[in-house]
Amino acid sequence: MSRLIAAIDDTVEVEYGQFVLQEVSMNRNSLALPVPTGSWTAVGGAGGLLLHSAATDHYPTVRVELWDYSPPNDQHSGWDQVLDLTCDLTSEIRLQSVTATFGEHTLQLLAPGVHHARVAVGNQRDTVELGEGSFEAGVERWLIQLWPA
């Protein structure tokens, strides 16, 4: 049975419709991950996750959880989208805006290396309605669950 090891509840400034879950060391930049063509929500790779919001210039709530194994799948009803990705991470991570404004909290990983990431996003319909430069807080919500691969 899987066990929740640690979690942070934070917010991050979305700029240009994007934000990242990034290694604190910043030796590898999640903003350098290739963006898919067309509509997309998240990509993972070396250094973390690049996340695409339903709006620009706002502050979503984000919960990042670290699990020892795959978390239960029964936690994902009521979300607009749920994606499974992988990313390669070092010892500590945090949320960050595209212009490097950091979230308030960091999360220490159990070990460096490839991690599975389950990304859930909610309230996207309400988020789309936010005007550019609204800087509203708490409309969009994200859950990012990580566990070693």
Q: Looking at per-residue confidence, does 130 or 53 come out higher?
A: 53
So what's the pLDDT on residue 145?
97
Question: What is the C-alpha to C-alpha distance for residues 49 and 142, in angstroms, rounded to an integer?
Answer: 13
Residue range 39-87, pLDDT digits in tens: 999 999 999 999 999 888 989 999 999 999 999 887 777 899 999 999 9
Please, which residues bridge with residue 129 across strands?
none
* Cα 17 to chain centroid, rounded: 13
Give the number of C-alpha atoms closer than 13 A to the C-alpha of residue 110, restricted to the C-beta side: 16
pTM: 0.93
Per-residue pLDDT, averaged over 113-128, amounts to 91
CA distances from 121 to 67, 76, 90 (A): 19, 10, 24
Contacts of the segment 122-130: beta carbons below 8 A, 24+ positions apart: 122/78, 122/79, 122/80, 123/80, 124/54, 124/80, 124/81, 125/54, 125/80, 127/53, 127/54, 127/55, 127/58, 127/60, 128/54, 128/55, 129/55, 130/55, 130/56, 130/57, 130/58
Task: Confirm if 135 and 59 have CB atoms less than 8 A apart.
Answer: yes
Q: Which fold has domain 4-148?
A: Substrate Binding Domain Of DNAk; Chain A, domain 1 (2.60.34)
Helix and strand element counts for the chain (H, E): 1, 10
